[in-house]
Amino acid sequence: MKTALIHSDQYTRFDYGPDHPLRMERLGLTWRLMEAYGLTTLAGAKVWAPEPADEAALARFHAGPYLEVLKAVSSGLHLPGAYRYGLGPGDNPIFPGLWEASCLAAGGSLLAARLVADGDVERAFHFAGGLHHAMPDRASGFCYVNDPVLAILALRERGWRVCYVDIDAHHGDGVQFAFYADPNVLTISTHERGDRLFPGTGFVEEHGEGAGQGYAVNVPLEPYTDDPVYHEAFEAVVPPLLGAFKPDVVVAQLGIDSHHTDPLTHLSLSVQGFARTVARIVELSPRLVALGGGGYDLTNVARAWTAAWAVMNGVELRPDLPASFAADMRSFDFRSPSLWDPPSEIPATIRGRAQEFAGRQVDAIRRSIFPVHGLVG
């Protein structure tokens, strides 16, 4: 087994602003926890530093005028109409180096895709990627350039069938949009229901169009969905569809804003529940390009993505965080010295409501999408 970890210290140059929930510190913190566990020097694994993607690569999905605006505002030029491209105060701030940060994120995911496509590795993890909301002509949801779409397009150039599995708490709307009519890309997104959370999409009824009918799959979930309810829904939908679709490669977006302490969302997964889901994705994937995504409690981002990288390499981690990580534990106020969470305590009535809602979504998917893939509904 050969694997690749994609990481760059250059992300420390960029900052969304002191009040923005997406903190670049989460990337360095994750790297240092991986390092403390010895996961950056594993036999068979190699660390790769990405190069920024060039504009031509970004233009495979993004509109030229939008890219020109990104470059202009990144350099400090004031454009009164920038808001038309989703830019400005709020989710998608304008900050120095915005263009360079976007190119670097795209370059990392394209590198991961290339390493897998060329057969250099079987699994690659670019945890700074996974910016799944960006649209062709506008920024959205903290995302300026849609690196998962660019990675999938690169894999499709090889003639490969791609399954995209997105476990972020937010619907992977930008990726779904890109491949909504493409039967060679199966998109599956599990997320908090769209009538409760941004971006307001990702309902079961969104299942593709034209030749892509049945190739967009959405599993919306009730707030406070915990590990047992989540895994029951995941197992009911993802393994059967992957088995029927038979992808050459899986691109996985591993957002950890589904964690029960995340400040922006309302799902209730634990780190170990997240790791269990990653393990299933690894088992089901003939080849794997894994990307990061959301996650706004920095301590849980570091723990979860460290656990994910261990899973990709077949490494079982000890539960106590390494002593060499103690300074970061103090600086970032880790609630516990453990990699794992204590058992969740979801009241039976709330779990029952979440289970009933998830069951209805699964039943709808079985009726509307399974028959397209030759599965019994």
Give 311: exposed, middle or buried? Use CB within 10 Å, 0-12, 13-18, 19+: buried
* CA angle in degrees (0–180, nearest 5) for 211-217-218: 145
Considering the candidates 133, 171, 207, 266, report the single residue annotated as catalytic. 133
- Residue 168 DSSP label: S
Interatomic CA distance for residues 278 and 298, integer angstroms: 19
Interatomic CA distance for residues 118 and 115, integer angstroms: 5
Can you name the residues that pair with 162 across neighbouring β-strands? Answer: 185, 249
Q: Confirm if 117 and 154 have CB atoms less than 8 A apart.
A: yes
CA 104 to chain centroid, in Å, comes to 16
Q: Confirm if 260 and 270 have CB atoms less than 8 A apart.
A: yes
Is 133 a catalytic site residue? yes
Q: How far is CA 278 from CA 293, 334, 337, in A?
A: 14, 23, 22
- Is it true that the peptide bond before 199 is cis, omega within 30 degrees of 0? yes
Interatomic CA distance for residues 11 and 126, integer angstroms: 13
Tokens of 87: 């830019």
Interatomic CA distance for residues 240 and 220, integer angstroms: 18
Q: Confirm if 150 and 57 have CB atoms less than 8 A apart.
A: yes
CA dihedral 273, 91, 335, 271 (to 10 degrees): 10
Beta strands in 51-183, from DSSP E residues, in sequence order: 123-126, 162-166
Q: How far is CA 334 from CA 25, 41, 155, 279, 303, in A?
A: 14, 25, 38, 25, 10
* CA angle in degrees (0–180, nearest 5) for 15-34-163: 80
Catalytic residue set: 133
